[in-house]
Amino acid sequence: MRILITGAAGFLGSHLCERLLSEGHSVIGMDNFLTGDPQNLAHLTTNENFSFIRHDVSNFIFVPGKLDAVLHFASPASPNKNSPYGYPNLPIQTMKAGALGTHNALGVAKANNATFLLASTSEIYGDPEEHPQKETYWGHVDPTGPRSMYDEAKRFAEALTMSYHRFHGIDTRIVRIFNTYGSRMRLDDGRVIPNFIQQALRNEPLTIYGEGKQTRSFCFADDLIEGIYRLLLSGIHEPVNIGNPVEMTVLELAVKVNEIINNPAGLIINEDLRLGNDPERRRPDITKARELLNWEPQYTLVQGLEKTIPYFKMKLGI
């Protein structure tokens, strides 16, 4: 296949480019480096099956030649209000990437009669009242709250994707990604795992937002990419959750990271750093992915962290 990946210079986009190239596909990466980094693609630039277009997906997308698939990953993804890369500090760009960007990416898929895959998110469930979250749950989202620029853009993106599928007959996929971590996340991205790993590596206390009783379920990037690749090759048009169902509190995560890195500095609890509407509980129900894609995560948290920590050591020069 000849595949366009938007958001290619980001954390997940760069891993996806790598995986698709290794499967023998030809990949065109697209990114405007809003939250991504050209370094994430540096090792692919000599690959003759890879090319790159610097472009903001909020503007009309043109790619010369026939495309077989379009994978739309371009969007800020960190909710951290203290990071310049967090979507609370990029609200208009976030809404444009989810709304105009999805429209343009669907347009290029339609023009090529290509398969379209949307990177959606567990955030579309909001602060969930159903637990764990199944794909059938409609969510509990504040439409004007501090996370609304991301949550509502992704909900719009899902609705637009289903509209293109139902009205234009486009072959679409929607993956609802739950918290995923791994190499190539920005040091200053602000999401919890990069924050905790670098704080621990610097022997600083880990910053717990709120009391740390909120839960998340963390998936290692290689597992997620495998699930996305299987979904791409499937014929499933309805949304599919991909994530790791092992749930833990943020406090438990912090203790685990300090233990693995042997950080004596402990933890600091800080309510002020927490963004409003922070979901209290999050865990994917992955029955659908298990049954339809024969997929489930292979890496435990400890195994995934052990593969991720060397990247952050390298970035910090440790």
Q: Tell me which residues touch ligand NAD (CB under 6 A).
A: 6-7, 9-13, 31-36, 56-58, 73-77, 93, 97, 101, 119, 121, 177, 179-180
The neighbour count for residue 315, using CB atoms within 10 Å, is: 18
Residue 6 vs 277, nearer CB to ligand NAD: 6
Cα 187 off chain centre by: 16
Task: Determine whether 311 is an active site residue.
Answer: no
Q: Count residues binding ligand UDP (CB under 6 A).
A: 15
Based on the shown chain and the rule CB under 6 A, indicate whether residue 124 belongs to the binding site for ligand UDP.
no
Nearest distance from C-beta of residue 30 to ligand NAD, angstroms: 6
Q: Are 194 and 316 in contact (CB under 8 A)?
A: no
Nearest distance from C-beta of residue 193 to ligand NAD, angstroms: 9
DSSP string, 253-294: HHHHHHHHHT-TT-EEEEGGGSPTT--S---B--HHHHHHH-
The entry of ligand NAD, ligand UDP, none near residue 101 (CB within 5 to 8 angstroms by kind) is ligand NAD
Whether omega before 128 lies within 30 degrees of 0, making that bond cis, reads no
d(CA 123, CA 150) in angstroms, rounded, equals: 8
Binding mask 82-111 for ligand UDP (x = CB under 6 A): ------------------------------
Binding mask 210-249 for ligand UDP (x = CB under 6 A): ----x-x---------------------------------
Based on the shown chain and the rule CB under 6 A, indicate whether residue 79 belongs to the binding site for ligand UDP.
yes
Of 106, 120, 104, nearest in space to 164 by CA? 106
* 3-state helix vs strand vs coil in the chain, percent to 5: 40, 20, 40
Q: Are 22 and 63 in contact (CB under 8 A)?
A: no
The entry of ligand NAD, ligand UDP, none near residue 241 (CB within 5 to 8 angstroms by kind) is none
Q: Are 151 and 208 in contact (CB under 8 A)?
A: no
Q: Are 116 and 122 in contact (CB under 8 A)?
A: no
Binding piece for ligand UDP, criterion CB under 6 A, among 4-12, 60-68, 203-211, 292-300: 203-211
Based on the shown chain and the rule CB under 6 A, indicate whether residue 209 belongs to the binding site for ligand UDP.
yes
Site for ligand UDP in 269-308 (CB under 6 A): 274, 278
Give the DSSP H/E element, type plus range, for residue 302.
Answer: helix 301-316
* Site residues (vs ligand UDP, CB under 6 A): 78-80, 179, 191-192, 195, 207-209, 214, 216, 250, 274, 278
Active-site residue list: 150
